[in-house]
Amino acid sequence: MKISKKDVDYVAALARLEFEQKEEEKLTEQLASILGYVDKIKEVDTSKIEPTSHGFSGENVWREDTVVKSSEQTIESIFKNAPAKDGMFFKVEKVMDMED
Amino acid sequence: MNAKYEAVIGLEVHSQIKTDTKVFCNCSTDFHSQPNTNICPVCTGQPGVLPVLNKKAVELLVRTGLALECRINKKSVFARKQYFYPDLPKNYQISQYDLPFAEHGKLNISVDGGVKTIGITRIHLEEDAGKLVHDIGMKKLDYSLADYNRTGIPLMEIVSEPDMRTPQDAAAYLTALKSLIEYLETSDCNMEEGKFRCDANVSIRPVGQKEFGTKAELKNMNTISGVEEALVYEIQRQIEVVENGGKIVQETRTWDPDEKVTKSMRSKENAHDYRYFPDPDLVPVILDDDFINKIKKDIPELPEKRKQRLISECGLSQYDANVIISDKALADYYETALETASKQSDNSGKQIANWITTELLGKLNSAKLTIKESPVKAENLGTLVALIIKGTISGKIAKMVFEDMFNDGKDPDTVVKEKGLVQISDEGAIVAICKEAVAESPKIVEEYKAGKERAIGAIVGLVMKKSKGKANPQMVNKILIDLLKQ
């Protein structure tokens, strides 16, 4: 599979990453090599195998609907992991549109 | 709408599933908690945590899917939908992609006296995002505040087929869907608390054309009538664009309820690429027949069926039945009142419906109360109607009694006793009053005897006045006619 600089730019933009031109060239090469390996794997005949969504087997891991409250300490440490807070809120960059 | 065009409308409803805890962690879903008190390492996306699925959320979604006649998929998988936004601490939302829990359902709606069937494409389970605050009171902030209490609350996204053609269809669909979900008790559907939200996809095409036009996605409608208004505006806007030789662009538009217009939300981010892939942290869910049948057995009587029963068993008109079943709490109120009345008298079904639609709902509306907050309890309304049917009080007196019941929350028996409003049906007592009245009205008696039968009305009026409205009017009539024959 061919990877162009445009593909790298696109993926980088989605991941909110910025690269120097030199890094970009290196990444283009590395990604091409990784995807080349995927091409090789694709040669295996999987027509009779169901698509695998998970790397391990198992199903229906679930729990009952019972409330467990976080301790104040836990909440405090979550706030400590955030870049900024304002009172009871996490402080984030201003956003106005696009609420999904 | 311009007769040359027709609209094609599909709706996406996000309804909050009624669980005590979030979908992948044990945090509470309480709406009224202080900001960021219902959060934990899982729902705030701390490194190394593992989500664990809430079984109740799956059960309630399946219950909804079955009521909407969906096929329940034996195997379902969760997928990650990836985008950056400050209300989404993990930078991806756990949702479903190619294997949702339910697919291919339908819902019947009533419009213009007819019935239309709207297809349900799918219902999938996903987690809600957090809440962003942009201003405090009137003050606009130059940053935003995030509250992650809502992050991870289970939502069922119910996607319809593009089967609706008018804004009225859309409103009827949302009303029917909301009512169905309330009957199922799988969501509170409280629109003010954002527990029942709707986005609309709408396009126009010349009548007769098979292909769909380019659609716009409408957001930010917070009421069912808001959805209807936004669609009316947007359809007209699209027709004008096309009529003026323009082209519709595919875009997201937001409804401004104050200006009553839709506005483009075009932004740099509009080209979304969510890169869905199966979430490796969550194993597939396999639902067997036992699981599904157990839920199926537990589904209560649904609005459509209840409506038919009220019409055939209680003698209600289509209109009254529609009003009463539209809200489960109201239908429950009606049936409780009916049950109470039936113990005391017969045939009260229609009268109770009349009292609800003509007296009670209007009063509740002006007092801004819901049926659950009604100062007149269902049992008391039933007793009131029974009192009328038994002849204990007249319909006119009943209105006065109802007034007191609504204002003071008293039961009808107490009001009737306290105010001495019991209708006089004792023949002896009525005869005595009638004799008095006849003696006092010699002229009218003469006229009556001379053949002017209508003159009797004046004597009836006098008897009612003397009895303070309490004499049984039918008996008064009969007794007077007998007296005047002599």
The predicted-structure confidence for B328-341, as pLDDT tens digits, reads as follows: 899 999 999 999 98
Nearest by CB to A69, from B28, B87, B254: name it. B28
Q: Are residues B408 and B439 in the same domain?
A: no
**% of chain B surpassing 90 pLDDT:** 63
Q: Are residues B338 and B461 in the same domain?
A: no
Average pLDDT, chain B: 91
| B36 close contact with A: CB closer than 8 A | yes
DSSP state, A53?
-
Partners of residue B14 on adjacent β-strands: B157, B197
Q: To which H or E segment does residue B218 belong?
A: strand B216-221
Question: Chain B window 237-276: which residues touch A at a Cβ cutoff of 8 Å?
Answer: 252, 254, 265, 267, 269, 273, 275
Instruction: With beta carbons less than 8 A apart as the criterion, state whether B213 and B248 touch.
Output: yes
- pLDDT (0 to 100) of residue B451: 84
Q: Are residues B355 and B244 in the same domain?
A: no
The C-alpha atoms of residue B484 and residue B445 are separated, in whole angstroms, by 7
- pLDDT (0 to 100) of residue B1: 60
- pLDDT (0 to 100) of residue B268: 44
- pLDDT (0 to 100) of residue A100: 38
DSSP state, B274?
-
B84 Cα to chain A: minimum distance (Å): 8
pLDDT at B231 over 80: yes
What's the pLDDT tens digit per position in B406-415? 998 888 888 8
Decide if A53 and B142 are in contact by the 8 Å CB cutoff. no
- CB pairs below 8 Å between A and B: how many? 136
What domain range is B356 assigned to?
303-418
Q: Are residues B368 and B448 in the same domain?
A: no
Q: Which of B418, B442, B469 is the last residue of a domain?
A: B418
B197's tokens: 């939200």
Q: Are residues B403 and B440 in the same domain?
A: no
The C-alpha atoms of residue B462 and residue B437 are separated, in whole angstroms, by 6
Q: Are residues B94 and B137 in the same domain?
A: yes
Q: Which of B275, B295, B315 is the last residue of a domain?
A: B295
- pLDDT (0 to 100) of residue B483: 85
Give A9's contacts in chain B (Cβ within 8 Å).
none
- Band of pLDDT at residue B397, cut at 50, 70 and 90: confident
- pLDDT (0 to 100) of residue A98: 43
Q: Are residues B345 and B395 in the same domain?
A: yes
- pLDDT (0 to 100) of residue B116: 94
- pLDDT (0 to 100) of residue B272: 72
| A50 close contact with B: CB closer than 8 A | no
Nearest by CB to B267, from A56, A91, A97: name it. A97
Q: Which of B237, B261, B295 is the last residue of a domain?
A: B295
Instruction: With beta carbons less than 8 A apart as the criterion, state whether B481 and B467 touch.
Output: no
| B58 close contact with A: CB closer than 8 A | yes
Decide if B39 and A75 are in contact by the 8 Å CB cutoff. yes
- pLDDT (0 to 100) of residue B342: 83
Average pLDDT over residues B429-442: 87
Q: Are residues B63 and B124 in the same domain?
A: yes
pLDDT at B294 over 90: yes
Tell me, what CATH number does B441's domain have? Answer: 1.10.10.410
| A44 close contact with B: CB closer than 8 A | no
The C-alpha atoms of residue B213 and residue B49 are separated, in whole angstroms, by 45
What's the pLDDT tens digit per position in B171-181? 999 999 999 99
Average pLDDT over residues B251-267: 88
Decide if B44 and A78 are in contact by the 8 Å CB cutoff. yes
- pLDDT (0 to 100) of residue B481: 87
B30 Cα to chain A: minimum distance (Å): 10
SS3 assignment, position B476: helix
Average pLDDT over residues B15-27: 97
| A74 close contact with B: CB closer than 8 A | yes
Nearest by CB to A61, from B144, B278, B283: name it. B283
- pLDDT (0 to 100) of residue B162: 97
Give B147's contacts in chain A (Cβ within 8 Å).
88-90
Q: What is the CATH number of domain A5-41?
A: 1.10.20
Q: How far is CA A49 from CA A45, A52, B221, in A?
A: 9, 8, 46
Q: Are residues B402 and B446 in the same domain?
A: no
Q: Between B317 and B124, whose confidence is greater?
A: B124
The C-alpha atoms of residue B308 and residue B326 are separated, in whole angstroms, by 13
Domain count, chain B: 3
- Band of pLDDT at residue B267, cut at 50, 70 and 90: low
Decide if A62 and B58 are in contact by the 8 Å CB cutoff. yes
| A51 close contact with B: CB closer than 8 A | no
Q: Are residues B440 and B326 in the same domain?
A: no
The 10 Å CB-count burial string (b at 16+, else e) for B459-484 is bbebbbebbebbbbbebbbebbeeeb
- All residue ranges of chain A with pLDDT < 70 are 1, 96-100
- pLDDT (0 to 100) of residue A1: 63
Which among B192, B36, B272 is positioned nearest to A92, based on CA atoms? B36
Decide if B36 and A90 are in contact by the 8 Å CB cutoff. yes
What's the pLDDT tens digit per position in B339-390? 998 887 777 889 999 999 999 999 999 999 999 999 999 999 999 998 888 8
